[in-house]
Chains A and B, each alone.
Chain A
Amino acid sequence: MSTEIETRSVGSVAREMSRRAVLGAGLAVGAGLVLPGGVLGVPLLRPRARAEACIFIWLPGGVAQTDTFDPKAYSPFEAGMKGSELLGTCPSIPTTADGVRFGAGLEGLASVMDRGCVLRTLTSDAAFGAIHLKAQYNLMTGYLFPVGVKAPSIGAVVSRTLGRRHRQVPAYIYIGRDIDTSDEERTFISEYLGSGFYGLEHAPFMIPEPSRGLATLSAAAGMSVERLDQRQAILRGLHGASAEKLRDSAKAQEYMALMAEARAMMDSPVKKAFEFSDERPEVLAAYSPGGALGAGESLLDPSYDHSNRFGPGLLLARRLVEAGARFVQVEYQYGPFKGFDMHENGARRMREMKRQIDGPITRLVLDLEERGMLDTTLVVVATEFGRTIASQPAAGVEPDGAAESHSGEHLVVANESMYGFHGHFSSCKDMLFFGGGFRRGVAYGATADRHPLLPVEKPVSLIDTHATIYAALGIAPDTSYETEGRPFYVTKDGKGKPIAGLLA
């Protein structure tokens, strides 16, 4: 990738000169380099943007890679089988990409894999042990918590660096997560999906329930739009009549301008995105598959079913991108010990989860393609870590690093509820990409066929993965913004390097 960087005419010639002068002086390039008088946040060399929008599909909980995007040998349940013998709870199926196989249950994704690119060797220097949140923070910001600075999430980086695509459509929209800070985990999550030190301007617009839309784009209960506008008129009148000094203040003027912008957004195309009535019934159905495996069956845990938010959330994401959104993140809402966080009955639960995500993601890819948007829209499917067999099947309390060396030789799968991938595996996870300038029909990297399922070919670091996503969007990995008198980079220390083998 580094060879493909093109020079942009951002910044003045003088700054270009000063950078060359610095380079000529033999100082370190990239990490930590701050140009005297340089403008932070506007790197002088930017990669060529391939995608202009991104839909980031976030599947927290730890998706078992061997049941999904990196299948190993199918090893059906036998009472008393050794952990080392458990390599896959489902058969693998071919995909439309040559030589790339997926776990059964992902027939939809397999059918569009010729448009996709799967990264199978996303490693991690840090072993997260039992701690999902630290791994999620890491994936979402690129930094290891605690950082000492409120680190912004990927969406905030994109929002700040690229801004809005459409004047009246928010740059960063987050779908499928409750605004709920009633406990430690939810509080923590609210912070790392936010904009960190970038401030509210780059905070996500939260849409917890796709069916309810973005509540604040409609007038509050009992308020007609006519009355709302009369109320706006009083506000403008008051400001016009207020003390002359305050009226002349640049800050007050900016505030009023943003107020007008907020009002305009209520009539913007973004609002139309919430009206699904113009979608064909079969499209609507594809985004709402339900989670039950068959007629008459119900979910193993019916109390945790976000399929009615996740699928429609993807449809909404597509519609928002059509309307002009820059970055839309859709989460299958995380619940400890729920969903993809499987510590028992992994085989059955994985079948249920695959059923909930396969159809909607597939339909999203096809929809984007049919609309000619796939080339310019990057779809990412991510999780915080992979999974392995567990030394303590139910609890997931392996000490840091245990999973990495666990061969499963001493683990006995005594009953069916122990059959599945119940251990956290920091050392390897998969990430899936469609469109947006990524290569198509390829699998990148290879992992071992026996436990521990470590990367054996082309391991990739998270910061390079972030750098690749940013590169596809035209963001240089050493883009930085100042906080506390120092630059803070969009990839750790500005050191991320885009992976050429992932990009088309």
Chain B
Amino acid sequence: MSGVLTVLSPTVRPGAGEPPADVGLANPTCPVMEGEAVDPEFYTEYEGKRVYFCCRKCLRAFSENPAKYAERLPRFQPQELAAPGEAMGGADPRVTQRLFATNDPQVMAIRRIVRLGAVPAPAQPPAIHGGAWVHNDIDRFVVGAWAAAGLPQADSPPPVCDDATFARRVYLDVIGMVPTLPELRRFLEDTSPEKRAALVDELLARHQDYADHWTPFWEDALGSTNVNNQGGVPGRGSYRTWINESFRTNKAFDVFAAELIDTTMPGAQKPMVAEANGLRTRTSYILNDTHTRTLQSAAAVGQVFLGTAMKCASCHNHFENDEWPQDRFLAFAGMFAPADLEAIRCEVKSGRMVASAYPFGVPGAPDEVPSDEVARLRRVAALTTDPANPRFSRSIVNRLWKRYLGLGLAEPADDARDSIDASMPELLDWLAYDLASHDFDLKRTIRLILTSRTYQLRYDPALEDHLDVAAPGEPRWFRSPSLRRLTAEQVVDSAVRIANQGLPSQDRLFRRNASSSLTLALGRPASRNEISTGRPDAPAVVQLLELMNGSEFASLIYESPITGDYAGGHRDIFLAALGREPTTAELDLAAEHTRLVAASERGQATEQHLLTRETPAHARLSGAWEWSGEHAMAGERRHVQVSDGAPVQHYVLGLDEAPATYVRVWVRLDPDNPPREIMLQVHSRGWEHRAFWGDDVIQFGKAETPSRRRLGDLPRAGEWVRLEVRADAIGLGTMDRIEGLSFDQAGGRVWWGAVSLLRVPPSPEQTARGDWLWALLASPEFQYVH
């Protein structure tokens, strides 16, 4: 037995952490495995099973001549060594101790193999008649369940969705965005019979896009916030980068979960000490500085990673779920605390301490509780992620199932109870075991699900499952996926990707800290001050008004290249938006609308003058406004500004003018005292819209960007000259209202004259294309994954 561990020493990477002190060196007398030690890095498939070796030499020797070594192989295999009876009853306690002494990923890899031996292998999928229908084992379980229930679909399975629907579904599910036109066309034109599986692989290999789609889900689930302190309460801090990196590198899921709890692990995000309101507070996923925070941290782990809701048991026995008497929860929560917790029932202290204990039966795991905080967290991380923990693997595969099929096999996914029947429990167990026995590689399970025929079934409301919260144990058959609403991130990222036919990772919505009325209306939380594993997906009037009339959604559409410069035809726009070819009837809708718009929208340019005669009631003037009738037309006024060389400005705020195509300003420079530079700033949700003429003296914004755009030399002095700024040159879109103007100069004397906003309407064709795209993006066909 001790041989299992001897492998540790030679394979611990530099810097990967201290190896356990008393682990011996591997016996050098291989092949094949005379040292009785295996290393999880060296394995091959033999007779459908994974077999492990201690080193490359042994692996090679075996591969060259399996027959020679096959007979002696079993006794070296971890599953064999730690076969159920032996591991639980007969395991050397010192081995168990060492296995649980650290969560170094190398050790976890070994522990995974050994501990899997404590798990009975799950039932194999049932044999299915007419197996051609089946893509993989998932389908065998599903069809088997249909047959057992006598459902007619067992004999005449429902059809799979068409290629276009599949592509859209899988793009949204794996990378969180719809395909671009070239991506879609390439897939649709591909004639290979394996193209669906190939697409799944291709998308799973887009590591950054894949991680970007997962990140907001886990930010919600972990309660990741971009601040360290909220409402005077220390928060968990931001896990955004860590989550993104973890998924980009496809970190083993048990390592991912363990690193949140055991921050001594090499890949963990280290706790931060932040100062707030004069108090130093520690920011980390597990907060255990007070009784309440410890309970909340423990409950979060229970809910998110073990799929059981125990918050109700914080103050009393759970009223509805008898799995959670209060003491059981306090014992669990104590594992996350420096010391055992006191029983506090409904805010009344009892003085009685509850001995900490891990409440989920993890067969063969050590059951004593370490006394110091670091060791406790290490232990609870190990027990929580143990392959033999009955809840951990099942919870995550159930979440994956729910993410891709719409409903979980077990519901509620956050509160699966023994008293509530799961649908197809054999499938759930099988998926859980499969994940644990493949290094908790989430991509493996995702691939299994997405390539199954079950996932690829056509959406059919007549067959779709529905969850009745009052009866979560009612069976779900998955004869059709459930309709799923796109998240705010999927809507916005897809809309941008459609508009520009591309979207770089750094521009994706999840990276934005601030919310807008659009992202709020689409259900993206402003703050993740509480954890959440699912967002409400029901539409609401406030949301649909935002899609209909909100300026942010409108600018995504009406300013997009696909309706403007790119000028995709109606067919292209349709294909880009909905991922399928339009029918003739659908194209007729666009053609008819284009005629209507051309007939009614005879747009003419208009010019609006500002400040020339009076100051609008809402406007607020700041800086030295020196009005002057000098060099002005009768009844009008100019403002004059003098600079001794240093930048000076005067400005107006509080305007609320409709967006413009051009901003124009008349200026007259003093020929006897000319400035070095003049600048016009426009305020539209901030001042980052600046144009200047002359030298680059005034250092606002960033040179050569819309925040500081040089438009030419200084105009000729001594006469009135009209300067014209194209709104888009300084980053003003067609939905950006004009809220303020600033008149800046360095040196000299300048008469600032009439300011005007020139509005040139888009062509009727462009307007009609925008309307077309809007209708496509606002349609249920876009708003749902179907």
Interface of chain A residues 182 through 209 with chain B (CB within 8 A): 182, 184, 187-188, 190-191, 194, 197-201, 203-206
Q: Judge whether A134 and B780 touch: CB under 8 Å.
A: no
**Does residue B618 face the partner (Cβ distance < 8 Å to A)?**
yes
Known A-B contacts A184-B229, A221-B737, A256-B780; the reply to A262 vs B527 at CB < 8 A is no
Nearest chain B CB to A197 CB, angstrom units: 8
Nearest chain A CB to B12 CB, angstrom units: 40
Q: Residue of B at shortest CB range from A33? A: B319
Q: Judge whether B520 and A179 touch: CB under 8 Å.
A: yes
The stretch from A73-81, A232-240, A364-372 touching chain B is: A232-240
CA distance A32 to B316 in the complex (A): 10
Known A-B contacts A179-B520, A190-B520, A190-B526; the reply to A221 vs B658 at CB < 8 A is yes
Residues of chain B with a CB closer than 8 A to A233's CB: 593
**Does residue A230 face the partner (Cβ distance < 8 Å to B)?**
yes
Q: Judge whether A251 and B784 touch: CB under 8 Å.
A: yes
The stretch from B119-127, B172-180, B230-238, B489-497 touching chain A is: B230-238
CA distance A102 to B597 in the complex (A): 62
Q: Residue of A at shortest CB range from B529? A: A191
Most buried by B among A198, A234, A266, A482: A234
**Does residue A129 face the partner (Cβ distance < 8 Å to B)?**
yes
The stretch from B55-63, B543-551, B630-638 touching chain A is: B543-551
Q: Judge whether A239 and B415 touch: CB under 8 Å.
A: no
CA distance A231 to B762 in the complex (A): 17
Known A-B contacts A220-B551, A234-B589, A258-B540; the reply to A37 vs B784 at CB < 8 A is no
Q: Judge whether B520 and A235 touch: CB under 8 Å.
A: no
Known A-B contacts A179-B516, A259-B544; the reply to A484 vs B551 at CB < 8 A is no
Known A-B contacts A199-B540, A215-B551, A255-B539; the reply to A246 vs B656 at CB < 8 A is no
Q: Judge whether A227 and B600 touch: CB under 8 Å.
A: yes
**Does residue A24 face the partner (Cβ distance < 8 Å to B)?**
no
Q: Judge whether B231 and A137 touch: CB under 8 Å.
A: yes
**Does residue A485 face the partner (Cβ distance < 8 Å to B)?**
yes
Q: Judge whether A222 and B232 touch: CB under 8 Å.
A: no
Q: Residue of B at shortest CB range from A242? A: B781
Residues of chain B with a CB closer than 8 A to A250's CB: 461
Known A-B contacts A184-B227, A221-B735; the reply to A234 vs B233 at CB < 8 A is no
Known A-B contacts A203-B540, A234-B772, A258-B541; the reply to A187 vs B227 at CB < 8 A is yes
**Does residue B585 face the partner (Cβ distance < 8 Å to A)?**
yes
Known A-B contacts A181-B526, A191-B529; the reply to A249 vs B321 at CB < 8 A is no
Residues of chain A with a CB closer than 8 A to B596's CB: 230
**Does residue B278 face the partner (Cβ distance < 8 Å to A)?**
yes
Residues of chain A with a CB closer than 8 A to B65's CB: none
Q: Judge whether B779 and A238 touch: CB under 8 Å.
A: yes
Return the CB mask of B529-556 against A: 1 if under 8 Å, else 0.
1111000101111111110111100100
CA distance A262 to B548 in the complex (A): 8
Residues of chain A with a CB closer than 8 A to B659's CB: 221-222
Interface of chain A residues 246 through 285 with chain B (CB within 8 A): 246, 248-252, 254-256, 258-259, 261-263, 265-266
Q: Judge whether A206 and B517 touch: CB under 8 Å.
A: yes
**Does residue B224 face the partner (Cβ distance < 8 Å to A)?**
no
Nearest chain A CB to B138 CB, angstrom units: 23
Q: Judge whether B532 and A217 touch: CB under 8 Å.
A: no
Residues of chain A with a CB closer than 8 A to B551's CB: 215, 220-221
**Does residue A500 face the partner (Cβ distance < 8 Å to B)?**
no
CA distance A128 to B299 in the complex (A): 25
Q: Judge whether A37 and B771 touch: CB under 8 Å.
A: no
Residues of chain B with a CB closer than 8 A to A234's CB: 589-590, 593, 771-772, 775
CA distance A215 to B549 in the complex (A): 8
Nearest chain B CB to A343 CB, angstrom units: 14
**Does residue B35 face the partner (Cβ distance < 8 Å to A)?**
no
Q: Judge whether B540 and A150 touch: CB under 8 Å.
A: no
Q: Judge whether B526 and A133 touch: CB under 8 Å.
A: no
Q: Judge whether B527 and A188 touch: CB under 8 Å.
A: yes
Residues of chain A with a CB closer than 8 A to B656's CB: 212
Q: How many A-B Cβ pairs are below 8 Å?
A: 269
Task: Name the contact of B514 in the complex, choosing from A181, A205, A221, A249 (C-beta under 8 A).
Answer: A181
Known A-B contacts A147-B530, A190-B527; the reply to A397 vs B277 at CB < 8 A is yes
**Does residue B583 face the partner (Cβ distance < 8 Å to A)?**
yes
Q: Judge whether B583 and A252 touch: CB under 8 Å.
A: no
Q: Residue of A at shortest CB range from B531? A: A148
Most buried by A among B485, B521, B543: B543
CA distance A219 to B548 in the complex (A): 8
Q: Give the contact-size bracket for chain A.
A: 35 or more
Q: Judge whether A235 and B539 touch: CB under 8 Å.
A: no
Known A-B contacts A227-B600, A234-B590, A234-B775; the reply to A241 vs B520 at CB < 8 A is no
Interface of chain B residues 728 through 786 with chain A (CB within 8 A): 734-735, 737, 761-762, 767, 771-772, 774-776, 778-781, 783-784, 786
**Does residue A20 face the partner (Cβ distance < 8 Å to B)?**
no
CA distance A434 to B138 in the complex (A): 63
Interface of chain A residues 144 through 195 with chain B (CB within 8 A): 145-151, 170, 179-182, 184, 187-188, 190-191, 194
Q: Judge whether A216 and B299 touch: CB under 8 Å.
A: no
Most buried by B among A170, A205, A241: A241
**Does residue A486 face the partner (Cβ distance < 8 Å to B)?**
yes
Nearest chain A CB to B660 CB, angstrom units: 10
Residues of chain B with a CB closer than 8 A to A224's CB: 600-601
Interface of chain A residues 288 through 347 with chain B (CB within 8 A): none
CA distance A193 to B533 in the complex (A): 21
**Does residue B614 face the partner (Cβ distance < 8 Å to A)?**
no
**Does residue B320 face the partner (Cβ distance < 8 Å to A)?**
yes
Task: Name the contact of B593 in the complex, choosing from A128, A181, A201, A230 (C-beta under 8 A).
Answer: A230
Nearest chain A CB to B202 CB, angstrom units: 26
Return the CB mask of A131-147 against B: 1 if under 8 Å, else 0.
10110010000000111
Task: Name the contact of B780 in the complex, choosing from A37, A197, A246 (C-beta under 8 A).
Answer: A246
CA distance A342 to B523 in the complex (A): 35
CA distance A151 to B530 in the complex (A): 9
Most buried by B among A397, A485, A486: A485
Return the CB mask of A454-482 against B: 1 if under 8 Å, else 0.
00000000000000000000000000001
**Does residue B401 face the partner (Cβ distance < 8 Å to A)?**
no
Nearest chain B CB to A294 CB, angstrom units: 21
CA distance A202 to B531 in the complex (A): 20
Q: Judge whether A133 and B230 touch: CB under 8 Å.
A: yes
**Does residue B190 face the partner (Cβ distance < 8 Å to A)?**
no
CA distance A206 to B771 in the complex (A): 26
Residues of chain A with a CB closer than 8 A to B783's CB: 255
**Does residue A211 face the partner (Cβ distance < 8 Å to B)?**
yes
Q: Judge whether B778 and A259 touch: CB under 8 Å.
A: yes
Q: Judge whether A484 and B309 touch: CB under 8 Å.
A: yes
**Does residue A42 face the partner (Cβ distance < 8 Å to B)?**
no
Nearest chain B CB to A165 CB, angstrom units: 15
CA distance A259 to B530 in the complex (A): 30
Residues of chain B with a CB closer than 8 A to A133's CB: 230-232
Nearest chain A CB to B536 CB, angstrom units: 3
**Does residue B385 face the partner (Cβ distance < 8 Å to A)?**
no
**Does residue B515 face the partner (Cβ distance < 8 Å to A)?**
yes
Q: Judge whether B542 and A170 touch: CB under 8 Å.
A: yes
Smallest CB-CB A-B distances: 9 pairs: A199-B536, A131-B232, A190-B526, A252-B780, A485-B415, A200-B540, A234-B775, A262-B544, A216-B545
16 CB contacts below 8 A, A to B, read: A131-B231, A134-B231, A187-B230, A187-B527, A200-B523, A203-B540, A206-B517, A222-B734, A223-B554, A234-B772, A238-B779, A246-B780, A255-B780, A259-B778, A262-B545, A484-B309
Known pairs A34-B319, A201-B536 / 5 extra A-B pairs, C-beta < 8 Å = A133-B232, A145-B230, A190-B520, A215-B549, A221-B659
Binding site for A on B (CB under 8 A): 225-227, 229-233, 277-278, 296, 299, 303, 309, 311-312, 314, 316, 318-321, 412, 414-415, 458-462, 464, 469-470, 472, 483, 485, 513-517, 520-521, 523, 525-527, 529-532, 536, 538-546, 548-551, 554, 558, 583, 585-586, 589-590, 593, 596-597, 600-601, 618, 656, 658-659, 734-735, 737, 761-762, 767, 771-772, 774-776, 778-781, 783-784, 786
